[in-house]
Structure 1
Amino acid sequence: MLYTLPVVIATVVLGLSGFVSGLGTSCSAPLGAGTASPSDPYWMQTIKHQGTAAFNPSPNNYQVFRNVKDFGAKGDGVTDDTSAINAAISSGGRCGGGSCHSTTVTPAIVFFPKGTYLVSAPIVALYYTQLIGDAKIPPTLLASANFDGIAVIDANPYIPGGGGAQYYTNQNNFLRSVRNFVIDVRRVAPERSQGTGIHWQVAQATSLMNIVFQLSTAANTAHQGIWMENGSGGFMGDLIFNGGKFGMWVGNQQFTVRNITVNNAQTAVYSLWNWGWTFQSININNCQVGFDLSTGGLTEASQTVGAEAIIDAVVVNTPIFVRTSTISNGRLGGSLVLNNAKLTNVPVAVGVVGGAVVLNGGTTTIASWGQGNVFKGTSPAATFTQGNINNANKPSVLLDSSGKIFEKAHPQYAAYAVSQFVSVKDNGAKGDGRTDDTAALKAIFAKYAGCKIIFFDAGTYIVTSTLTIPAGTQIVGEAWSVIAGSGSAFQNAASPQVVVRVGDANSQGIMEISDIIFTTVGSTPGAIVVEWNVKQPAGQNGGAGMWDSHIRLGGAAGTNLERAQCPDTGSGGFNNCYAAFLALHIKPTATAYIEGLWAWLADHDLDGDGSSRISLYSGRGILSESAGPVWLIGTGCELYLWPSLLGI
């Protein structure tokens, strides 16, 4: 895939009892705090699961939600649960093995109740899988002493005897999430690299969150938390690494990493290559090296670290904060930016393999320092810079009380009882990819907004006119539930109409949207897919936000924007192949905290053979007119094209 740089753009996790602009007709009071007792199961375990994969060949028989214990896993820390877990993942003819490159018709949530799950071989996370542990008491995945495989969780297996071939093309390995686990490999002998937590060779629309990695601290340890040799990601956040040779060993086009802590590792982060990675809110304690970067490559064949931005770091008792593999001598490919890095007992802030010191450390704060080539205007000539650089202006509204860029984790509602949720399918919506669900969804919001968390059971929900989500609403999808705009209302590019309006104009209140895909059923040249109007309550940064949700235009079953309609030869024409007018519009009075969103106009078909190129058209990706604050964390947008831009 073409790359999308992760960005933070300027233009306290709070309860849900904040200001709302209005309550549903069934509501006597706002939702308020969670009412689950400590002994109650996590709501996801007990809520009724009736989600469907709308375009699966057998949607009424295909199982989206799977509890690993229903497949025989014990979670007792003694029984080998490997086979049972992999059976839960693979059941239902899912996509993997090297013969299926991708698909959207076999989504799955694989749920792990609390417990300790002993595994002796990798858990293979197939395409379009969310592995989710109990958010109240995260389960432990415990590698046995005889564990044999690339990692406890493998998101892209190498095919035995395949000469390096893998299940999926790494740049197209989309739609994955792993959440709420402790991954413990300390029973694996320290010198064995099989003591790896996750092999995460993935691309866009992927996330890791709320995971603790327990690794050996022995002097000869080869353990590592995350191993990633290629791909085109992605977002990860809220991770803790204890021990290991490497907390993270990574090489990937681009990623955003937020809120990680690495304790007692030899190297916190080793980076082999990238185009651009952003690390935000990084804590490194008692390691030997914080960031070890392979540098100097100037060609595609010799690509090393292209760009590394490290923002809001706290580094303690670590001899070297950042080390590069190549000394500059006035010229060095790639760039490094350090911003608001607080060092305590860190003798070398920036060094080079072999011992050269570029920037002395100590106990100090690095306000803004950079290394790399600076270009000005339209000149192709570069000036190599190595030293203090202008500190970016960060308005106080974007920061937390400690002066760091504000951050807010993906809501998981661990304290909420299942009675505080309401299912859209229980209230008349079908989600079958054919029925017009507009009226049903409008009625659900009118009745329950503000006093229930609205659960979108897995499915594809067709809307034929603008669907407004009122301020005060919390929405949770299941395996990326889909809301799709379809019909004549969205076919006039001269008078574009909104598919999903997030808050009425000038509205204010809580808004939380997670695990939803927004799309269209083409041709829809007049579709503004998401219009964001809502403003967060006063004093509640991040009160209006969206997490792990995506705008996916075309390239999937049910969109009428696939290879059959719009091949890359262009024979489908323009009129049949318009996917949208605009993907996301953030309005002037709105605020937004958006994390892990991918807005993608498909350049290839995810279904069918999973690789054939297609030609689709959409004029605009993300337009923000907001006066702020807006946080776009790990947000990417790509491949938007309109015929007039081609001179047609």
Structure 2
Amino acid sequence: MVLASLLFLALSATVSQTPVVAALGSACGVPLTAGNCCMGRVLTGSRASSIRVFRNVKDYGAVGDGVHDDTAAINAAIYTGNRCGNGTCGSSTTTPAVVYFPAGDYLVSSPLQAYYYTVMVGDARTPPTLLASANFTGMAVIDADPYGTNGANWYTNQDSFYRSVRNFVIDLTRMPASASATGIHWQVSQSTSLVNVVVNMSTKPGNNHQGMSGGFMGDIVFNGGKYGIWVGNQQYGTRCVLVHSTYMSQAVFGSWNWGWTYQRVIINDCQVGFDLVTGSVGGEAIIDAVVTNTPIFVRSSKPSNGSLAGSLVLNNIHLNNVTTAVMANDTTVLAGGTRTIKSWGQGNVYAGTRPNGTFTQGEIHSAYKDSSLLDHNGFIVSKGHPMYADYSVDQFKSVKCMGAVGDGMTDDTEAIKAVLAKYAGCYIIYFDAGIYKVTSTIQVPAGTRIVGEAWTQIMGAGPYFNNQEDPKVVVQVGVPGSQGVTEITDIVFTTQGPAAGAIVVEWNVRDPFDQQAAAGMWDSHIRDLLFLLIIANGTHLQDADCPAGSNSPACFAAFLGLHLTYGATAYLEGTWVWLADHDLDGLDQLTLFSGRGILSHSQGPVWMIGTSEHHVLYQYSLVGAENHYMGLIQTETPYFQPDPAPPTPFGISQVYDDPTFENGMNMAWGLWVQSSINIIVFGAGHYSFFQNYSTACLGNTTCQAQIVNTDWSSSVTIYSLTTVGTTYQLSVEGDGVIYWANDTEGFSSTVTLWRPQH
């Protein structure tokens, strides 16, 4: 028997920090003995023997020789086990799967359907090729949300969570150039990622191939085709994308959004870099781009005519032989050439407490970027998902092999502590798929690398975490003053209710000297609720326990989601800090209470590329913080507010620097900034859709009065701020400043830039 889970790690890994699929070391072909460990299975109650997590496509009949049609075999590897898909299930956490592709050429003739809670991963040393046949039929080679026979998607768009695709080459070149071929249909929401993917398309003039349609991606290459990326969604962040094609019409075609941040984009030899549908694309923010031999960098479909017609922010854009930098319809707005655009914007620009913005189509304020946030090229630091391909299998230690159970019922506290005490810093600590119940604080030493399998869950449970007057940490990463290379990937931190005093993750560790982004989390989430229904006794935080409208002390999920302490540094990519508003295994609405989302006291550097939503007091709070880069951050106010209004059912904590609720403020803050300096928010979506579960307030944008606040002493620059349902988009010292109606762009309102006057 192969030690499947650890072998998957060694075979699927990459530590690439550039948009190129890396050919790094692996332990490919090393035979291992599983012993008595339950690798590749979920140990949860009575179904433990039937839920296989790790699946090698060759075990299901795939050949990978580029000749045999492997479509049916691969899809069987994905769907086997009564998993959530095919339009029969809205969402589910009970049947996770890691679908592994050894090196090879896998011929496919119809879409590979990425079921809910699925990681599709290829060997990073020799990335497998998904080769679309000449007669391929269907929307895309990989389809994360297929359309059924009735024309409806399998999953509800805003609830399409937990999918990841890593380490593949997708080849469309056998398909006719005239075919509408697509590499990936990525119609997904939070807790999803595309990492290290190359899409090769036709290079013939006039071809109709496109690389991808959909959401978040990092370290992606698109070669050839008509479109590199065709995107449309509420909001997303995109990091490290290379688009190259002599005949490509558009590198990025934006059909609609409320807000989108592109960080570190390289465009070579295309006709148009970004082609945006005016009136449908609300806010577009692009930072650290290099554009070469491309006649038009950004084009919008309609002229602005001196008023808001799609907000645009360009920051640190390097142009090489680009004729036109920005074009509105057929009119040049900003000339190109070979030069660097430091900071340019189109839209309404505000400063201080002036309530009226100035429509600007030109140079705008350039926020100070501390050198600690930048790499040697002067770009915001970017680091891809680490997966340790250079390590052999015997350099991993499985917590299940070392005595932990991971069934959601057994107390695994002492077993996990023992593994960390003995092996942290010497081995990579592997948390096999499962739910690891802990009843006291788990201390993760600086220098530890932790890896999960299909979003392994570490769950804080018991009375130790249920006193909001004396909050306790579930997982403490480093102790104050510690430093070391510390990485956490593919883990979900959860609680079992009631847990009114749970600080789910406290982050103390900082980067070693002269190593940037060495301490961080990737594809790891803080979800203040566990959903796995097959655990005996459940989480006590599901629809039967805490239905919408409930007000029970039993429905406390956490005191605080993530705390970045004073001396910490952190690189957070795809870190979703979510208090559930609905049951993922039933879709019924819930009323749960988590006091706070992300609190940062860190002096930096901190890079945040993630979301936080539904917490009672705030989603993001920066108090005494310095040197933060916050990419596309997205929040939602709890659906039950203002019944009760914050801080109820929590108290105000002076120890944790809680915000105030004055001037009629009866809803949670999206972003609260106090006594903080050198804060850059580059793209933000702060939304309020409900009052006590009713959307009637959206009709006149009165779901809440204020949502973003800063004090006078802070230096924070906010680019591309989008709000929904909020009367004042930004406040200073608790007083509303920017009125939503001044910045309407369809359903949302967008501020191109706000900065303090000092």
Per the normalisation by structure 2, the TM-score is: 0.76
Structure 2 contact 494–530 (Cα < 8 Å) conserved: no
Determine the structure 1 residue equivalent to 2:638: none
Determine the structure 1 residue equivalent to 2:79: 90
Is 1:332 matched up with 2:275? Answer: no
User: What do residues 152-201 of structure 1 show as CA deviations (whole Å, max 9, x unaligned)?
Assistant: 000001001x1x311100110000000000000111111111x2100000
Of 556, 559, 563, 2:539 maps to 559
Determine the structure 2 residue equivalent to 1:208: 194
Q: CA deviation at 1:585?
A: 0.1
Structure 1 contact 528–582 (Cα < 8 Å) conserved: yes
Structure 1 contact 246–266 (Cα < 8 Å) conserved: yes
Aligned runs of 1:532-611 on 2, under 5 Å?
532-554=507-529, 556-557=531-532, 558-570=538-550, 573-608=551-586, 611=587
Structure 2 contact 346–360 (Cα < 8 Å) conserved: yes
* Count of residues in Structure 1 that have an aligned counterpart in Structure 2: 596
SS in 1 for 2:258: strand
Structure 1 contact 54–105 (Cα < 8 Å) conserved: no
Structure 1 contact 74–117 (Cα < 8 Å) conserved: yes
Q: CA deviation at 1:468?
A: 0.4
CA distance in 2, matches of 1:155, 1:109: 15
Letter in 2 for 1:602: A
Q: CA deviation at 1:574?
A: 3.1
Q: CA deviation at 1:53?
A: 2.9
Aligned runs of 1:328-477 on 2, under 5 Å?
328-353=304-329, 355-376=330-351, 381-477=356-452
Letter in 2 for 1:613: Q
SS in 1 for 2:512: coil
Letter in 1 for 2:227: F
Change (3 A) 1:291 1:191: same
Q: CA deviation at 1:389?
A: 0.4
Structure 2 contact 257–282 (Cα < 8 Å) conserved: yes
Determine the structure 2 residue equivalent to 1:9: none
Determine the structure 2 residue equivalent to 1:113: 102
Aligned runs of 1:222-241 on 2, under 5 Å?
222-228=208-214, 235-241=216-222
Determine the structure 1 residue equivalent to 2:122: 133
Structure 1 contact 555–602 (Cα < 8 Å) conserved: no
SS in 2 for 1:83: helix
Determine the structure 1 residue equivalent to 2:724: none
Change (3 A) 1:165 1:150: same
Is 1:180 matched up with 2:167? Answer: yes
SS in 1 for 2:554: coil
Aligned runs of 1:18-57 on 2, under 5 Å?
40-41=27-28, 50-55=39-44
Letter in 2 for 1:282: V
Q: CA deviation at 1:556?
A: 1.4
Is 1:614 matched up with 2:590? Answer: yes
Letter in 1 for 2:184: I
Q: CA deviation at 1:220?
A: 2.0
Structure 1 contact 577–617 (Cα < 8 Å) conserved: yes
User: What do residues 490-549 of structure 1 show as CA deviations (whole Å, max 9, x unaligned)?
Assistant: 000010000000011211111010000000001100000000000111001011111110
Structure 1 contact 49–65 (Cα < 8 Å) conserved: no
Structure 1 contact 555–605 (Cα < 8 Å) conserved: no
Change (3 A) 1:44 1:597: farther
Letter in 2 for 1:270: F
Structure 2 contact 43–405 (Cα < 8 Å) conserved: no
User: What do residues 301-330 of structure 1 show as CA deviations (whole Å, max 9, x unaligned)?
Assistant: xxx111111000000000000001110111
SS in 2 for 1:425: coil
Q: CA deviation at 1:476?
A: 0.8
Q: CA deviation at 1:52?
A: 3.2
Letter in 2 for 1:222: N
SS in 2 for 1:70: helix
Determine the structure 1 residue equivalent to 2:154: 167
Instruction: Work out the percentage of aligned pairs sharing the same amino acid.
Output: 59
Cα RMSD for the two superposed structures: 2.0
CA distance in 1, matches of 2:350, 2:613: 24
Which shows bigger deviation, 366-375 or 620-629?
366-375
SS in 1 for 2:553: coil
Change (3 A) 1:38 1:455: closer
CA distance in 1, matches of 2:337, 2:240: 23
Is 1:288 matched up with 2:271? Answer: yes
Determine the structure 2 residue equivalent to 1:510: 485
Q: CA deviation at 1:54?
A: 4.3
Is 1:276 matched up with 2:265? Answer: no
Indicate the structure whose relative CO is greater, using CA pairs within 8 Å and at least 6 residues apart: 1
Structure 2 contact 577–613 (Cα < 8 Å) conserved: yes
CA distance in 2, matches of 1:625, 1:274: 32
Letter in 2 for 1:551: I
CA distance in 1, matches of 2:328, 2:615: 41
Structure 1 contact 469–500 (Cα < 8 Å) conserved: yes
Is 1:262 matched up with 2:243? Answer: yes
SS in 1 for 2:591: coil
CA distance in 1, matches of 2:303, 2:33: 57
Of 247, 265, 283, 1:307 maps to 283
Letter in 2 for 1:187: R
Per the normalisation by structure 1, the TM-score is: 0.89
SS in 2 for 1:621: strand
CA distance in 2, matches of 1:45, 1:85: 24
CA distance in 2, matches of 1:542, 1:615: 36
CA distance in 2, matches of 1:61, 1:113: 24
Q: Which structure 2 segments of 5+ residues have no match? A: 1-13, 18-22, 533-537, 618-643, 650-758
Structure 2 contact 26–389 (Cα < 8 Å) conserved: no
Structure 1 contact 243–266 (Cα < 8 Å) conserved: no
Change (3 A) 1:238 1:39: closer
User: What do residues 36-87 of structure 1 show as CA deviations (whole Å, max 9, x unaligned)?
Assistant: 9968408899987614334476122210110000000000110000000000
Q: CA deviation at 1:227?
A: 1.4
Q: CA deviation at 1:334?
A: 2.8
SS in 2 for 1:84: helix
Q: CA deviation at 1:121?
A: 0.3
Structure 2 contact 53–433 (Cα < 8 Å) conserved: yes
CA distance in 2, matches of 1:349, 1:465: 56
SS in 2 for 1:397: helix
SS in 2 for 1:405: coil
User: What do residues 338-368 of structure 1 show as CA deviations (whole Å, max 9, x unaligned)?
Assistant: 0000000001000023x21000001010000
CA distance in 2, matches of 1:311, 1:281: 6
CA distance in 1, matches of 2:645, 2:547: 19
Change (3 A) 1:51 1:405: same
Structure 1 contact 56–105 (Cα < 8 Å) conserved: no
Q: CA deviation at 1:374?
A: 2.3
Change (3 A) 1:526 1:214: same
Q: CA deviation at 1:647?
A: 5.7
CA distance in 1, matches of 2:182, 2:189: 20
Of 521, 525, 540, 2:500 maps to 525
Of 237, 243, 248, 2:229 maps to 248
CA distance in 2, matches of 1:197, 1:357: 33
Structure 1 contact 595–632 (Cα < 8 Å) conserved: yes
SS in 1 for 2:415: helix
Structure 1 contact 277–309 (Cα < 8 Å) conserved: yes
Structure 1 contact 309–338 (Cα < 8 Å) conserved: yes
Q: CA deviation at 1:217?
A: 1.6
